[in-house]
């Protein structure tokens, strides 16, 4: 009896191969042919799952976001019940920085995707929607933390959200060895300590 192919698993295998190509050789090398070679499957097999490079890139980025969300959710479950909003934000920010292999792969994929978005209208729309969704989630946490008294009410939630996301700008400093990962986390902690009130 022929082996059943798990189509979702095959698509994820292709996505991970694309991450590796983007991480090692850059987004310009993420052609269907090069990704197929990295995945160890035929060019035709990749085309069976993705009609073109754009579809393959979009899925790879969505899968990267899913994996980040799963890691965040797992870490949040370990924080206690209910988790403190400061700790949730720390987990989210830490996962956006290249502090471990999985986060580094998705971070590099995200950076490559943003560069691609600057020159492709369809990719731009998808990337913008994804970033907007992530930013809105963080702002909701900040707003709720203000409402619950964890952050003083004089803080502007939109501005504080933007400042939190600005910490992800530490990524190139980490990647190029200008600062160590622990220094990035120290900066995140210092910012969160300033943002949250003493009751934390």
Q: Which domains does the chain have, with CATH numbers?
A: 53-195 (1.10.357.10)
Q: What is the pLDDT of residue 5?
A: 59
Q: What is the pLDDT of residue 179?
A: 96
Kindly give the confidence (pLDDT) of every residue in the chain, 200 residues in length, as a single tens digit, with 9 standing for 90 and above.
Answer: 445 557 888 899 999 999 888 888 877 778 889 999 999 999 898 998 998 888 888 888 888 888 889 999 999 999 888 899 999 999 999 999 999 888 888 888 888 888 888 988 888 998 899 899 999 999 999 999 999 999 999 999 999 999 999 999 999 999 999 999 999 999 999 999 999 976 54
In angstroms, the CA 135 to CA 159 distance is 11
Confidence at residue 54, expressed as pLDDT on a 0 to 100 scale: 84
Cα–Cα dist 185/189, whole Å: 6
CA distance 78 to 92: 14
| Residue 128 DSSP label | H
- b/e map of 15-34 (b: 16 or more CB within 10 Å)? bbbbbbbbbeeebeebebeb
Q: Where do runs of H (alpha helix) occur along 26-156? A: 32-39, 43-49, 53-77, 85-96, 101-117, 121-147
């Amino acid at each position: 009896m022929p082996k059943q192919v798990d189509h979702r698993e095959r698509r994820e295998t292709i996505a991970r191969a694309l991450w590796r190509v983007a991480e090692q050789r850059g987004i310009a090398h993420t052609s269907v042919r090069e990704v197929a070679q990295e995945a160890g499957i035929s060019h035709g097999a990749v085309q069976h799952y993705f009609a073109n490079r754009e579809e393959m890139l979009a899925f790879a980025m969505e899968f990267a976001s899913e994996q980040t969300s799963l890691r965040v959710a797992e870490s949040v479950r370990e924080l206690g019940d209910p988790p403190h909003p400061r700790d949730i934000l720390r987990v989210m920010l830490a996962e956006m920085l290249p502090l471990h292999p999985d986060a580094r792969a998705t971070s590099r994929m995200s950076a490559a995707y943003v560069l691609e978005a600057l020159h492709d209208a369809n990719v731009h729309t998808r990337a913008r929607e994804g970033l907007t969704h992530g930013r809105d989630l963080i702002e909701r946490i900040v707003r709720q933390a203000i409402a619950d008294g964890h952050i003083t009410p004089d803080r502007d939630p939109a501005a504080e959200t933007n400042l939190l996301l600005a910490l992800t700008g530490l990524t190139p400093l980490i990647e190029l060895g200008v600062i160590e990962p622990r220094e990035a986390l120290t900066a995140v902690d210092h910012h969160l300590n300033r943002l949250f009130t003493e009751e934390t």
